[in-house]
Structure formats: C-alpha cells, structure tokens
Structure 1
C-alpha cells in the first residue's frame, strides 16, 4: 500500500475489537467463535472474519481493521506458519495489513492470544516488538486443567483499556456503593413510586423527582392525577393538564354535592397550606385534595432540601 493510500488511523471509531485467526480446524474455529460470543456477552462490539467482506477492496478491509479500538491475534502454530510462509492466505493478508496499521498505533492497540502454541511463538512480522500476550495453552498434567478462567478477565480488562494490575481495580465495595446509588436514583424517577391504587390516602410528594411532577391514585374510572409545581413558601400550582378540570374550594364545610361548582375554567389554581382543591377526571368523577404542607427548594444550608408538598386525597363516592 503506498503512502498516498494509507488510511488515517489516529482516531479509532469502529468496533471495540477485531479478532484475526486461522481456520486451523472446525474445532478451533468454534473455539474462536465461542470466545467472540463471550466477549459480546460482556458488552464488546466484536468483529471476526464472518463480519468482514474481504472482496477486492483492500482499502475497505483495512479501514474496518484500522477503525477498531483493539486487535487480537489468536496465535496457534498454524497461524504462525500461515503468517510467515503463506502471504496470499487470509492470515497472510491480514498480517500484512495489520502490520501496516500497527506502525502508527500505540502498542496496546494489538495483543496476542496463544492457544495450541506451547512456546508462545509469534509471527515473524512482529520482530522484536512484544505486544501483550494471553496464554491460553493447556499442558496435560498441569494444575490448570481449564485455561481461560482467569485469562478471560485479563483479556477483557485489556480490551476495555483498564490497568492489568487488579490491585488498581475498583473494589467490590465501591462497585456495590455505586450500584446502590444508581438503583436509588432509578427508584426516585420510577412512575410506580408516585402512584397509589387507594381511593383515600396521604403522601409526601417530592414532585421534582416524579415524571412530569405527577402523582396518581385510584384505578379505572376512579383514577386521578395531581400535577404541581412550586409557587411561594406556602402554596403550589395545581394544574388541570393531566385531568379535565381543577378548582379551589372556597369556604368551609362544603357539601360533596356542591363540589362541581368550585371547578374553574383556568389552567391552574394556587392553593395555600390548609386549603383544598377539587379535581374532575376525564370520566367526570370528583376528588378532593387537602394541601397539608409545602416546602420550597432550599439550597442555603449544607444539605440540599428538595421541594415537596404533603397532601391528602379522597375520591368522592357520590360522584
């Protein structure tokens, strides 16, 4: 390949990993595909021969390889022989093209995995370059009867760009702590946290955490939705958007049969603590919401206090 045809390899943006191997036997081919499947299960985007169309476009193949973030050579004895003595074989061509790219890459871009290659012999084109290698060889009578249990972790750590030294790895305790934070955050925004099937109830509603700032209760024709946002230190806006109508109940001891008269034509009402709101859903049923407490967002203290509204609801049976 001439210098004018050389591909810009400075910014790998393709698959996570390209695997180069020889079709030594059907069993070896299946082993490589199982390895690729394992890495895909771990979340890596892996390219093997079946994913690449060699065709006559050498530039096209080179670009697919050059764009990969990592390249792994599965080096058995047959792979070495083909790379060294059979330049027109698939392995021979891949070796030539990978060598061209490797000159402009960080050494960590390429690694070798040795299997059925007891002396870990490398292809001659690597010369005195010694990329990281993974020994998957099996020696009869060795204590390690099934090589690959620990090596697979070393392999994915290399593919992910993590330090090889596990001492610098993130501790299990830290990983659990992070997972707990993520789970708590997911729970806070889960709509299931902000609804109740009860027709009568009371809740502490941290509305900024809820999707669309909505709390729902009841089921079917008796389902209601309360959407709020902050107003002043002792009041909130209550919107009709998720239902049909809202209204501020004025006066005390209002009879349930008169609640519909308090519905307003506007988009929202602004109840204060101690006041009540009437809601009408899309089925024409009514519910009463009593505003018990309101808290505005407080960022002045050392600990953040989110805005919330405490309220009590009841679906009007006679409606």
Structure 2
C-alpha cells in the first residue's frame, strides 16, 4: 500500500531542508504516512522509487526558486530525476493527485514542464516585513485537507479544536484500559486499583513463576470480592496474621473470598507460589457529582519462601 503523501523538494540549504522535515513531521503527527526524498537512495533501485511515487495517493512539490532551477537545468540532480519521473506519471492521474507548495518563491515560478498545467498551489511564502503574511495554521489546514481529499470549503468542517478534544478523550480512554497500565514487575507494592477500567478487572504483578493476578469486583462499602479466576487458589486469612510458612492452610476450594478493609488474602498462582494481599481501602461507585469510580487500595507481597 502506497504512502499518503510523497514530498519532493530541493536541498537548497540546511534551513530549508529542516523546514521541509518539520512540515513532514507535522503531517505525520496528523496521522499521514509521509515519504520524503531523503528516504530515497537514487542509486539503488530507480524503478522501485518510481513505483513508490506512482503508488503515492498524493504528491507535493515544495517549490522554491532553487527547485525550479534544478528541475529546468540540472536533469541529473535529485530534483531533475524526480521531476522527470513525476511528469511521466502525472498525465495518467487526476488533477488532485499532485500539488505545489510555494515557499521562498514570491513570483510563484514553476518548473517548465508544469507551466501550462496549473496545479493546485499552497502559498507558504512569507515576508519578513509583514507578520500578517507569515504562513500558519490556516495554510497547514488547507494542506492536510487536500491530502485527505476534503473540500476546500470549510462550512461543514469540524473545528480543529473540537477534533483535538475528541482525540484527547479517545486516547485518555484507551490509556485507561491499556493492559500495560494494570501490571507491575515488582514483587511487592501498593496500588489504588480502579478495577472497573482494567481488562477483566484484574491487576498483575511479578514475573515468571512469581507472577500473580488479582481479580476483584465490588461487594459492600468496606469489602470486596477477590476471585481466583486467574490463579490456582485464594483464601482469607482468619484471626491473627500467621507466619509466611503457615499461609497455605488458609487457602479454600471456592472461587472467591470477601475480605473487609484491614483483612488479608492469600493467593496461590499456577506455579504453587504464594502472595499476600492486604486490603487497605474500598470505595464503591458514587454516581452523584463529583463521580467516584469504584476502587480498592491494596498492598501485595510475594512470599519469598514459597
């Protein structure tokens, strides 16, 4: 599958090259797959490169004065080769396939082969004497709307600020449910676990034969269901806290136990190792404003001697 955009430009100066790379980075940040000529080794596979240009959904020429000169008078330069290849493909494509971005080219000069074709152009020229003529967000939006195939008329467009807010909400929700958020390599620790957001309402810690899964669901204001769904056994410590060597006797054959705040649970994983979990705090869901998500705060410790 081809890239969303191929950018052709001249290495006029370090500053110009950096400007084009920053523009490409901006477009990549918007989600476009962008290929620039810096990614191409002309000596390796010219036919392969021509196919990449041909497969690109859009082609953008960043035309400064130096680009025009190289395209017209230096056929063996990178710009000269690209101009020749693009011109060969251009005739078979719809008009919207290629566009021109003018920068440091106030006369809007085009390479000779484009002189009578009148491609769509984007004015990124600026004048040091007038900040009002400096290109900004509006020009960038025009550019990405062309890449995306959207109309230039923005009457029905969703404002960028709204799109950003939506994207932020989506990413925040994705992060809340991302499995890596609900895992720790530590053999002991403490966590405020908002279990409703976690996949299978499960938090995992440790690694290898010391890995444990803590699965819970709500019960009451001061207690929680602890399930053995992802372990071998679970048990509730009754009475005084026993020595580590005596924890296994508290395991029970049932699927769950219901510890209250201040009580501890014994977990046994599929390798027969043990972990101790102390319930520090339990919070049920409250739907009034401000909303409070259900959570349990607990401390865990993998029993070294197990």
After TM superposition, the score normalised by the length of structure 2 is: 0.62
Equivalent residues in 2 for 1:44-83, closer than 5 Å = 44-55=32-43, 57-83=45-71
| SS of aligned partner of 1:137 | coil
Instruction: Write the deviation string for residues 174-220 of structure 1: whole angstroms up to 9, x where unpaired.
Output: 5424522431442255328xxx9669x9x8843xx424532579xxx
Which protein has the larger Cα radius of gyration, Structure 1 or Structure 2? 1
Q: Describe the shift of the 1:115–1:225 C-alpha distance in structure 2 as closer, same or farther (beyond 3 A).
A: closer
Q: Describe the shift of the 1:245–1:150 C-alpha distance in structure 2 as closer, same or farther (beyond 3 A).
A: same
Instruction: Indicate conservation of the 8 Å contact 2:236/2:258, yes or no.
Output: no
Give the aligned partner of residue 301 of structure 1: none
- Residue 62 of structure 1 and its aligned partner are, at CA, apart by 0.9
| SS of aligned partner of 2:82 | helix
Q: Describe the shift of the 1:283–1:77 C-alpha distance in structure 2 as closer, same or farther (beyond 3 A).
A: closer
Equivalent residues in 2 for 1:178-197, closer than 5 Å = 178-189=167-178, 190-191=181-182
- Residue 111 of structure 1 and its aligned partner are, at CA, apart by 0.8
Determine whether 1:159 maps to 2:142.
Answer: no
Determine whether 1:269 maps to 2:255.
Answer: yes
- Residue 35 of structure 1 and its aligned partner are, at CA, apart by 1.9
Give the aligned partner of residue 165 of structure 2: 176
Which of residues 3, 6, 17 is equivalent to 1:32? Answer: 17
Instruction: Indicate conservation of the 8 Å contact 1:136/1:147, yes or no.
Output: yes
Instruction: Indicate conservation of the 8 Å contact 1:236/1:270, yes or no.
Output: yes
Q: Which moved more, 1:81-90 or 1:58-67?
A: 81-90
Instruction: Write the deviation string for residues 20-70 of structure 1: whole angstroms up to 9, x where unpaired.
Output: 2345xx43x531332223322442544333321222754223113223332
Give the aligned partner of residue 146 of structure 1: 134
Instruction: Write the deviation string for residues 129-150 of structure 1: whole angstroms up to 9, x where unpaired.
Output: 3322012234575553534564
Equivalent residues in 2 for 1:1-319, closer than 5 Å = 13-23=1-11, 26-27=12-13, 30-43=15-28, 44-55=32-43, 57-84=45-72, 86-126=74-114, 128-139=116-127, 141-142=129-130, 144=132, 146-148=134-136, 150-171=138-159, 172-173=161-162, 175-189=164-178, 190-191=181-182, 205-206=195-196, 209-215=197-203, 226-227=214-215, 238-239=227-228, 241-242=230-231, 245-247=233-235, 261-264=249-252, 269-270=255-256, 278-280=265-267
Gaps of 5+ in 2: 206-210, 219-223, 285-292, 301-306
After TM superposition, the score normalised by the length of structure 1 is: 0.60
Aligned length: 267
